[in-house]
A and B are shown apart, each in its own frame.
Chain A
Amino acid sequence: MTTRAWLLADSPTSRWQANAGRAYRVFTALLRNPLSVLGGVIILVLLLTALFAPWIAPFSPTGQNLSQRLLPPSGVNWMGTDELGRDIFSRVVWGSQITLTIVLMVALISAPLGLLIGAISGYFGGWVDKILMGFTDIFLSLPKLILALAFVAALGPGINNAIIAIAITSWPAYARIARAETLTIRNAEYISAVQLAGGGPIRVIVQHILPLCTSSMIVRVTLDMAGVILTAAGLGFIGLGAQPPLPEWGAMISRGRTFILDQWWVATMPGFAIIIVSLGFCFLGDGLRDVLDPKSEGKS
């Protein structure tokens, strides 16, 4: 029996085989869409760059060399140097760690939070639902970026506070999705079976409802990552995100503002990094949606 036949078996003999088979099917479906392959490759490159930054970057991200300041892109400094003579390419490479940290932390905080609130709201219904969804709707109807700005203003600048502020503003969308999914499966027979067997609400929600919400959540989280990157870069640009000398991409663009008319590369290069990574998440998210959740096209 080949691995492929094992993965595509119509009657899997173990849970592990069923899960692996499903993952394999999603993966092959993704491979058929060139844009999602491109997106996947971009994310992979981002991961590798962040992991191996010390070996990839040719220069130190913070080492200053004033005799080398504001050099245009060349064979040595691929993206030129900034006003303190630091190699921009090395800074962009190191900056990938910051971007990846922010993206992962926001996803790890806001997705489970939204998932839990939505599932509780949908499962219990009644006044619990009314209160939780009223709260969610208020957050949803407020502008995300402005809210994040106000939160950071109160919490103080810095990466951690930026992560908290962005997470606070992004959970409501997940709560909405989780609630909608929960409502469609709440009255399913297998849920009644678990309840009859004595399963309490926590068991039903955590073991039987949440796993079914994951595929639509993965799609939504991937699509939202571009927005998270842009918001984080925006906070950095205004001066409220990562603080110097950290090589955060938004903050780097902000420093290059002064030189935009003559030394265009200082501000432009980190911008390309932001665009490529955000596009990668968009492509991958679009592809994942077509495979996992085809009905929600256009609703994002």
Chain B
Amino acid sequence: MATDQSALPSPTPRNFASKRTKRRALAIGGFIVTLFLTFLGLLAITFFIGRVIPIDPVLAVVGDRATQAQYDAAKIAMGLDRPLYEQFFTYVVNVFSGDLGRSVSTGRAVADDLSRFFPATFEMATLGILIGVALGVPLGVTAASRQGSWLDQAIRVVGLLGYSVPAFWLGLVGLALFYARLRWVGGPGRLDIFFDGLVTPITGMILIDSLIQGEFEIFMNALWHIILPASVLGFFSLAYIARMTRSFMLDQLSQEFVTTARVKGVPERIVIWRHAFNPIRVPLITVIGLSYAGLLEGSVMIETVFSWPGIGNYLTTALLNADMNAVLGSTLVIGAVFIVINKVSDVLYRVLDPRAR
């Protein structure tokens, strides 16, 4: 790379700056376009699932006892008499104006439901990723610095367990062991029943709301309840993060500058945590971003097990009631968050790593 640069005629500073601004603007524009296209793709898929796969979406709404007149009225009200591309256009416009339809089972607008349930999921996933990063990165670094040792093997097996243990099963076993048997943590739900409704929702995240309002007892109770589901979620990101950290570190540790540092007599601790770890911080951000997005997905199963009132629980309830508006709304929101985290961590990587610019 360095030789390429020096071979070019050196640009005047001003010229260089304007070129860089231009390039950056282009990159941002391209980013927005891909983000938009991907989101449109997601909409096309949810539209396809909701309107095209069911043989008769009208029947799904009115039921098979409806008269012909009711059926026709519903068909026109749903806009199903118009051509498919027009329906899709209306759908896109509706979604962008925040209208996701009405949930059959709760009777409220899906968008309202989702904004009410989202904070609980967000709170749990965030705590989960914190646990995953706090444990996964050191584990991965340790495994790489002692490659081939029994510790490395053990960490490798933990990493593979992250790919082979069903999240819902781990949640159930955790409940049976730590809640029912040992009484170390709280049971299902976000709070004990007698604390319910005592905190006014501000952010919707009980840990934060209770701290703002100075309700320390409620904070402890919420922590007591969230710690198990968040740890179970955290385990899965831990497994992935540790595996990737190990692989990145092994790449670095085999490089010549690491050997040089060791030959110079730099203490091993500094070789590992400064020389080898510093360059992998940037790719790690991408890995953490991806695994955070994965946790939003994983929370669907965990929430079902822990009766956690988040989007995942909302989604599974809707699935069982064949409440398609709610299913597609949740799919859309989780998908959109997933896409944004994905793309942002990709961009962050390019911004932070000079080699990828």
* A→B interface (CB under 8 Å): 134-135, 137-139, 141-147, 149-155, 226-227, 229-230, 233-234, 237-240, 250, 253-254, 256-257, 260-261, 264, 267-268, 271, 274-275, 278-279, 281-283, 286, 297-298
* B→A interface (CB under 8 Å): 37-38, 41-42, 45-46, 49-50, 53-54, 160-161, 163-169, 172-173, 175-176, 180, 243-244, 247-248, 293-294, 296-298, 300-301, 304-305, 315-316, 319-320, 322, 324, 327-328, 330-331, 334-335, 338-339, 342-343
| Residue in B166, B180, B300 with the greatest tally of chain A CB atoms within 10 Å | B166
Q: Is the beta-carbon distance between A271 and B38 smaller than 8 angstroms? A: no
Closest 10 CB pairs of A and B: A298-B247, A278-B164, A138-B41, A271-B169, A154-B53, A143-B297, A261-B180, A279-B164, A150-B331, A282-B160
Residues of A within 8 A of B38 (CB): 137-138, 141
Q: Is the beta-carbon distance between A230 and B297 smaller than 8 angstroms? A: no
Residues of A within 8 A of B247 (CB): 297-298
Given contacts A149-B319, A150-B327, A298-B247, whether A274 and B300 have CB atoms under 8 Å apart is no
Residues of A within 8 A of B164 (CB): 226, 229-230, 274-275, 278-279, 281-282
Specify the chain B residue showing the minimal Cβ separation from A274: B166
A-B residue pair count with CB separations less than 8 angstroms: 148
Q: Is the beta-carbon distance between B296 and A143 smaller than 8 angstroms? A: yes
Residues of B within 8 A of A233 (CB): 166
Of B46, B176, B293, B298, which one neighbours A261 at CB under 8 angstroms? B176
Q: Is the beta-carbon distance between B335 and A286 smaller than 8 angstroms? A: no
Given contacts A143-B334, A238-B304, A260-B176, whether A286 and B160 have CB atoms under 8 Å apart is yes
Q: Is the beta-carbon distance between B172 and A260 smaller than 8 angstroms? A: yes
Q: Is the beta-carbon distance between B331 and A149 smaller than 8 angstroms? A: yes
Q: Is the beta-carbon distance between B319 and A279 smaller than 8 angstroms? A: no
Interchain residue pairs with CB less than 8 A apart (10): A142-B335, A150-B331, A153-B319, A234-B168, A237-B166, A238-B316, A260-B175, A268-B176, A274-B164, A282-B163
Residues of B within 8 A of A154 (CB): 49-50, 53-54, 324
Of B244, B320, B324, which one neighbours A238 at CB under 8 angstroms? B320
Q: Is the interface of A mostly helix, strand, loop or mixed?
A: helix
Specify the chain A residue showing the minimal Cβ separation from B298: A145
Q: Is the beta-carbon distance between B54 and A250 smaller than 8 angstroms? A: no
Specify the chain A residue showing the minimal Cβ separation from B173: A268
Q: Is the beta-carbon distance between B169 and A274 smaller than 8 angstroms? A: yes
| Residue in A134, A250, A256, A282 with the greatest tally of chain B CB atoms within 10 Å | A282
Residues of B within 8 A of A240 (CB): 319
Residues of B within 8 A of A135 (CB): 41
A92 → B minimal CB distance (Å): 13
Q: Is the beta-carbon distance between B315 and A149 smaller than 8 angstroms? A: yes
Of B175, B327, B338, which one neighbours A153 at CB under 8 angstroms? B327
CA distance A297 to B175 in the complex (A): 35
Given contacts A143-B338, A149-B300, A282-B160, whether A298 and B244 have CB atoms under 8 Å apart is yes
Of B175, B304, B343, which one neighbours A141 at CB under 8 angstroms? B343
Residues of B within 8 A of A146 (CB): 297, 300, 315, 330-331, 334-335, 338
CA distance A26 to B45 in the complex (A): 41
Given contacts A151-B49, A260-B175, whether A253 and B297 have CB atoms under 8 Å apart is no
Specify the chain A residue showing the minimal Cβ separation from B340: A141
Residues of B within 8 A of A279 (CB): 160-161, 164
Of A137, A227, A238, A256, which one neighbours B163 at CB under 8 angstroms? A227
B254 → A minimal CB distance (Å): 12
| Residue in B164, B173, B300, B338 with the greatest tally of chain A CB atoms within 10 Å | B164
Residues of A within 8 A of B165 (CB): 271, 274-275, 278
CA distance A147 to B328 in the complex (A): 10
Residues of A within 8 A of B37 (CB): 134, 138
Residues of A within 8 A of B330 (CB): 146
